[in-house]
Chain A
């Protein structure tokens, strides 16, 4: 059974700081990995999707990497802004398009 762990559970940083969120998974037989953002009381916003054959994906200030063999992914956020404050979820895609989610990292960027 796939298990996904995200570290840290919560993170508070000053505006402008670069930061890294971590995600680890136990079963390396994955199809893809997605990073999502969730604002309080809202649904999920997809940030980046990395296919199993890829090493990283970039979108604006976000960069996600994937090391399938070691079961790890990182989400790098450059020059953080208060608007980046949210919960970030990592989800691993397995057979049948099933996603297994981590518990999330709650990020607060202080102005």
Chain B
């Protein structure tokens, strides 16, 4: 099956710094990638949708200047959390789809971000 990787799996950063999370589709071309965040014991909330070569579409309430998304190639999307604060601590998960008929999304293993 299709494989999506994320790096890093865990990251700890200090308040006020920025951190970048990578999402890669390893064996297929991802025309669309999605970024989710998940708080403890809660479900996944979609943050933004990114299509290769175009600007990301953010969900209501998600600050686009704080969560910078770049989808520069068909296999890589990055999420940069700028000026991170403790409340940004969360589990960030990406997914990717090739846009084929099934529209199935393939999920990465997630990145645990802790802001101290």
**Alpha-carbon distance between A36 and B44 when the two chains are bound, in angstroms:** 12
Classify chain A's interface size: 20 to 34
**Complex: chain B residue closest to A52, CB-CB:** B103
Q: Is A111 an interface residue (CB 8 A)?
A: no
Contacts of B110 in A (CB 8 A): 42-43
**Alpha-carbon distance between A51 and B108 when the two chains are bound, in angstroms:** 22
**Complex: chain B residue closest to A99, CB-CB:** B105
Q: Are B104 and A32 in contact (CB under 8 A)?
A: yes
Within 8 A of A (CB), among B26-51: 32, 34, 42-46, 49
Interface string of A68-108 (1 = CB under 8 A from B): 00000000000000000000010101001111111110000
**Alpha-carbon distance between A100 and B49 when the two chains are bound, in angstroms:** 13
Contacts of A44 in B (CB 8 A): 44, 93, 107
Q: Is A66 an interface residue (CB 8 A)?
A: no
**Alpha-carbon distance between A99 and B91 when the two chains are bound, in angstroms:** 17
Residues of chain A having any CB pair with chain B under 8 Å: 31-32, 34, 36, 41-44, 46, 49, 51, 89, 91, 93, 96-104
Residues of chain B having any CB pair with chain A under 8 Å: 1, 6, 32, 34, 42-46, 49, 91, 93, 95, 97, 99, 102-110, 112
